[in-house]
Amino acid sequence: MAFTFAAFCYMLALLLTAALIFFAIWHIIAFDELKTDYKNPIDQCNTLNPTVEKVKKIKRVKIALKLVLPEYLIHFFFCVMFFCAAEWLTLFLNLPLLAYHVWRYMSRPVMSCPGLYDPTTIMNADILAVLSKGRLVQAGLLPAVLLLLPLRDDLCSGELLNGTASGPARAEATTRCWKTEPAGPHGEDLDPAQTVTS
């Protein structure tokens, strides 16, 4: 059983998706705390946004734990991985989400530090509703992805096991896989598309 780079990518993505689920749930809780008047928006936004002081204070490893930016970076990271592994289809399915993240970050409020959330506007009912709905959708879909990724992983490894397939042949194999197992790609697909529309 050849443990290829692609298979590695999928496994990594699996782990990272679990991390993303954690982020999503965390955001949902944070927004809910805001709604129920439990926390001050300044504090809450400071937790959600990586503020400069925090970056200085907290050691590098820990920063990754609490932020929006890491979330985007994780996604970007496994897009790059899939690119390197030449998993074009998976990459293609992830591109919309990547584009959404880029757009979202470009259109963030004017801020001098990294981050997405502005404490002065976050209490606006519309904005808060959109944000928390987006996170809910994410939290609902990511587990699906989580389940489907190993499947995709297996198929990928299995196919590689069978043959010394070159690029095009592998692509063919992949399409076959799609046909036999439509749920896999579908699940993959849902995540970016849904998040974008939300």
Partner 1 sequence: MSTAGFNSQNGTGTGQTYANGPTQTPASLHQVPGVSSGMTHQPAYNPMQAKAPTPPGLYPYQPVPSFNSSPSVQPLLSSPLVGGPPSHTPPLSASPSPGPRLPPGHATPPPPATAVSSGSYYPSSMAPTWQFNTATQLPGSAASTNVPFRGTVGNHVNPPVSLPAPTSSASFSPTPPPMNNPQPPGPGIPPTSMHGYTQPGLAPSPGNFMPPHSYPQSRPGFGPPPTGPPPAMKPPPTGAPVTNATPPPPKADAQCGGAVNSLPLTEPIFQEGDIECPGAVTGNGPQAPNNFNHVENKMAGPTQPGPPSRHVGHYPSLPPGYQSTPHAGPPMHPSQPYTQAAPPYQQPPGGPGPAHLSPSMAAMSLQSSTPEALRVVNLLQERNLLPLTAVSAPTPCLPQDLQKINCNPEVFRSTLTSIPQSQSLLNKAKMPLGLLLHPFKDLSQLPVVTSSTIVRCRSCRTYINPFVSFLDQRRWKCNLCFRVNDVPEEFMYNPVSRSYGEPHKRPEVQNATIEFIAPSEYMLRPPQPAVYLFVLDVSHNAVETGYLTVFCQSLLENINALPGDSRTKVGFITFDSTIHFYNLQEGLSQPQMLIVSDIEDIFLPTPDSLLVNLNECKELVQDLLKSLPNLFMKTMETQSALGSALQAAFKLLSPTGGRMSVFQTQLPNLGMGALQSREDPNQRASAKDIQHLSPATDFYKKLALDCSGQQVAVDLFLLSSQYCDLASLGCISRYSAGSVYHYPSYHHQHNPAQVERFQKDLKRYLTRKIGFEAVMRIRCTKGLSIHTFHGNFFVRSTDLLSLPNVNPDAGFAVQMSIEENLDDMQVVSFQAALLYTSSKGERRIRVHTLCLPVVSSLSDIFAGADVQAITGLLASMAVDRSVTASLSDARDAMTNAVIDSLSSYRQSVLTIQQPGLLAPACLRLFPLYILALLKQRAFRTGTSTRLDDRMFAMYQLKYQPLAYSMLMIHPALYRVDDLTDEGALNINERTIPQPRLLQLSVEKLNRDGAFLMDAGTVMYLWIGRNCHPNFLTQVLGVPNCSSVPENLYLLPELDTAESQRTRAFVGWLRDQRPFFPSIHVIKDESQLKPHFMQNMIEDRTESALSYYEFLLHLQQQISK
Binding site for partner 1 (CB under 8 A): 34-35, 37, 40-42, 109-112, 119-120, 123-126
- Closest CB to partner 1 among 12 and 69? 69
Query: In the complex, what is the shortest distance from the CB of residue 38 to partner 1, in angstroms, rounded to a whole number?
Result: 8
Query: In the complex, what is the shortest distance from the CB of residue 91 to partner 1, in angstroms, rounded to a whole number?
Result: 33
- Closest CB to partner 1 among 51 and 90? 51
Query: In the complex, what is the shortest distance from the CB of residue 1 to partner 1, in angstroms, rounded to a whole number?
Result: 53
Say how far apart CA 82 and CA 109 lie, in whole Å. 31
- Closest CB to partner 1 among 2 and 106? 106
Query: In the complex, what is the shortest distance from the CB of residue 123 to partner 1, in angstroms, rounded to a whole number?
Result: 4
Structure tokens at 90: 């998976």
Q: Are 132 and 181 in contact (CB under 8 A)?
A: no
Query: In the complex, what is the shortest distance from the CB of residue 110 to partner 1, in angstroms, rounded to a whole number?
Result: 5
- Closest CB to partner 1 among 99 and 123? 123
Mapping DSSP onto H, E and C, the string for the chain reads CCCCHHHHHHHHHHHHHHHHHHHHHHHHHHHHHHHCCCCCHHHHHHHHCCCHHHHHHCCHHHHCCCCHHHHHHHHHHHHHHHHHCCCHHHHHHHHHHHHHHHHHHHCCCCCCCCCCCCCCCCCCHHHHHHHHHHHHHHHHHHHHHHHHHHHHHHHHHHHHHHCCCCHHHHHHHHHHHHHHCCHHHHHHHHHHHHHHHC
Query: In the complex, what is the shortest distance from the CB of residue 10 to partner 1, in angstroms, rounded to a whole number?
Result: 40
Burial tier of 94 (Cβ tally within 10 Å: 0-12, 13-18, 19+): buried
- Closest CB to partner 1 among 40 and 197? 40
- Closest CB to partner 1 among 51 and 195? 51
